[in-house]
Amino acid sequence: MSSTKELLAQNAARVGEELERLTAPSDPDFAEVLKAMQYSLIAPRAKRIRPTLVLEFCRLFGGTRAAALPFAAAVEMVHTYSLIHDDLPCMDDDDLRRGRPTCHKMFGEATALLAGDALLTYAFEVLASNTQVEPRAVCDAVTVLSRAAGAFGMIGGQTMDLAGEKKRHSLEALIKLHEHKTGALIVASATLGCLAAGLSLTDPRTVAAQNYARGIGLAFQIVDDVLDVTVDAETAGKTVGSDEAQNKTTFIGYYTPEEALAYAADVTARAKAEIAELEGAHALLALADHLILRKC
């Protein structure tokens, strides 16, 4: 487990350096929004799970870090934009994220909104500017990430999440919700790592990576729902208990915390089986275990 923590820390440092470089203020008239972007991107408690998937799947299939890093940075920009917007008063109205005040608490709602918008659009500039991969891979990467972030991915899942404040979702609908709200970007991350390594979208290894990512994405959300009712805000690094306060449907509505964790372990085992036979997959197998044992 310590080696997985070290891997995440190493990848977080690499991606963090790239994100700092990409968002370094270059015009004083834009300084405020860039500062807000950096504040949310370079948070000390950012896990960088999605960028790690990009980097590690690229490594697994023989690609270079230089090819993977722009894709990893783009994914983290999209993820961070979603967190900024998710925390806004019109959404979950949260005060704490990644261990410190949310973006709108520090910079105001208008600047936070603009920072999120800027990160989303900049992500695709970074994605499309990757000269370390073939043009076909860039086109595929843009398609993959835009779908994962849009109405048929993360936004669609978020819409279902909001609807869940007014009605109780069935378990089937809850799984669909999280396969889109959380899982879509995690699957996209694994896919981008494969593209950075030169694999096609139809390559069986890419499909295996996507199946693995789909499983760990669902398990991640199950554990997230458990942590929301079992840890405090300081440990979690974000607001806890808000799901219950907003009457949202969660896995805790269908399982006890112990049953939910057992479910997450089963989903993780099936996800690991998708890549278990791939030479060099040990880091990704260990990452899957790490994610269901985490406490924050």
DSSP state string for 169-221: PPHHHHHHHHHHHTHHHHHHHHHHHHHHTT--TTSHHHHHHHHHHHHHHHHHH
Report how far Cα 273 is from the mean position of its chain's Cα atoms: 22
Helix (H, G, I), strand (E, B) or coil at 81: helix
Alpha-carbon gap, residue 65 to 185, rounded angstroms? 20
Give me the pLDDT at residue 1, please. Answer: 45
pLDDT of 240: 56
Of the two residues 42 and 272, the one the predictor is more confident about is 272
Element holding 97 (H helix, E strand): strand 96-97
Are the beta carbons of 166 and 160 closer than 8 angstroms?
A: no
pLDDT tens digits, one per residue of 204-241: 999 999 999 999 999 999 999 999 888 766 665 556 55
Burial letters for 273-290: b for 16+ Cβ neighbours within 10 Å, e otherwise? ebbeebeebeebbbbbbb
Confidence of residue 256 (pLDDT cuts 50, 70, 90): very high
pLDDT confidence tier of residue 111, bands split at 50, 70 and 90: very high
Residue 75 near residue 54, CB atoms below 8 Å: yes
229 burial (CB, 10 Å; 0-12 / 13-18 / 19+) is middle
Helix (H, G, I), strand (E, B) or coil at 101: strand
Whole-model pTM over 0.85: yes
| Alpha carbons 108 and 126: distance in angstroms, whole number | 26
Whether the Cβ atoms of residue 149 and residue 16 lie closer than 8 Å to each other: no
| Tokens linked to 186 | 């995690």
Phi/psi for 169 (5° steps) reads -75, 145
User: 9-61, pLDDT tens digit by residue?
Assistant: 999 999 999 999 999 877 889 999 999 999 999 887 788 999 999 999 999 99
